[in-house]
Amino acid sequence: MNTTTQEIFLEPADTDRLQVLCGPMDMHITAIEQRLGVEINRRDNRFKIIGKSFVVVGVVKLLRGLYVDTAPIKGHLPSLDIEDVYLAIKESGVLEQTHLHTPDYGKAVNIQTKRGIIKPRTPNQSIYINNILTHDITFGIGPAGTGKTYLAVAAAVDALERQEIRRILLTRPAVEAGEKLGFLPGDLAQKVDPYLRPLYDALFEMLGFEKVEKLIERSVIEIAPLAYMRGRTLNESFIILDESQNTTPEQMKMFLTRIGFNSKAVITGDITQIDLPKHQKSGLRHAIEVLSELDDISFNFFQSEDVVRHPVVARIVNAYEDWEQKQAIEKALVKTKAKTDNPL
């Protein structure tokens, strides 16, 4: 691939906005250089980008987009941290050497929050959002950091804002992640609160603490352990079951049969992180086997390429997958050798 050079001027020239864009000690520019393999030279608002032609085109669009994000809001400059830069790099698609933009697989969720607009960052996330919008029941399955729960909460908030539903219900099984916490003080709500904290965090980020508290007081948003779902019929609701790999088949069936009229359900989980006793089958695994042929239900499988956390998280996921694959091969070879040595 031929190397090319392109110069751009970011207008309007504004020293404060340029400082936000480049970051402390030009940290943001350095991150772009290292991640995309380009050289960026800057003097004031003039940027000179040197690298492979398709990458340079992507970097030009990336810098212009990030500079737009630095525009003052009500007289104040927004913040831009290194996480925002990494997300913008991933969204550009340059790393995958494909199109410069994430494909449009249908209507995307765009919600203005304190951190900016929430939108899909990868093709799989776009498909996931589109399936949530077009199916009553959607499964999001994959490793941590792929946006399964976060995007589901965003879709729920979007539906509530547009008055398509009357309430949001978030739930997850109260299963300890390989630890025995023992007795927890407080009433029942305080006991289960640690298990539901990730759901609170997503809501607080999107709507703000005060608004979430008011909506919870009015029961417009309900956050509860899975055990609370038994015996209920949930109409005009957006229901999210998080950490569903830790449900039993009976719990999963119970949850899925709670769904009423004009309701949507999103079930998220990671089948590689099951915290149930070894003899207990995961309700998520069971649901994949039983329901995968139903057209009304969407199954979405995320990969390490969809991780939108720190770049090292994707490499960690890949390392564990490679190790597990090697272990499976070694076990298969041992069994084959045992059968060969003992044919009877």
200-251 per-position pLDDT tens digit? 888 888 888 899 999 999 999 998 888 878 878 788 899 999 999 999 999 9
Q: What is the mean pLDDT of residues 319-339?
A: 74
| Segments making up each domain of the chain, as ranges | 3-96, 111-309, 311-344
- The amino acid sitting at 82 is I
Pick the CATH number of 111-309 from 3.40.50.300, 3.40.50.620, 3.20.20.120, 3.40.50.2000: 3.40.50.300
pLDDT of residue 220: 94
pLDDT of residue 101: 38
Give the burial string for 262-291 (b: 16+ CB within 10 Å, else e): ebbbbbbbbeeebeeeeeeebbbbbbbeee
Most confident of 19-33, 97-111, 116-130, 187-201: 19-33
User: 126, 122, 133: which is closest to 155 by C-alpha?
Assistant: 133
Interstrand relation of 264-269 and 237-241 (parallel, antiparallel or unpaired): parallel
Residue 158 has pLDDT above 70, yes or no: yes
Most confident of 99-103, 195-199, 306-310: 195-199
Q: Positive or negative CA dihedral for 125, 129, 130, 134?
A: positive
pLDDT of residue 11: 93
Residue predicted with more confidence, 106 or 136: 136
Q: What is the mean pLDDT of residues 178-183?
A: 47
Interval 278-310: pLDDT, tens: 888 999 999 999 998 887 899 999 887 777 666
Average pLDDT over the chain, rounded to an integer = 82
Provide the CATH number for the domain formed by 3-96 in this structure: 3.30.1370.10
pLDDT of residue 137: 94
Quick one: what percent of the chain has pLDDT higher than 90?
A: 33
Interval 65-94: pLDDT, tens: 999 999 998 888 888 888 888 888 878 877
Q: What is the mean pLDDT of residues 189-202?
A: 72
Domains 3-96 and 111-309 share a fold: no
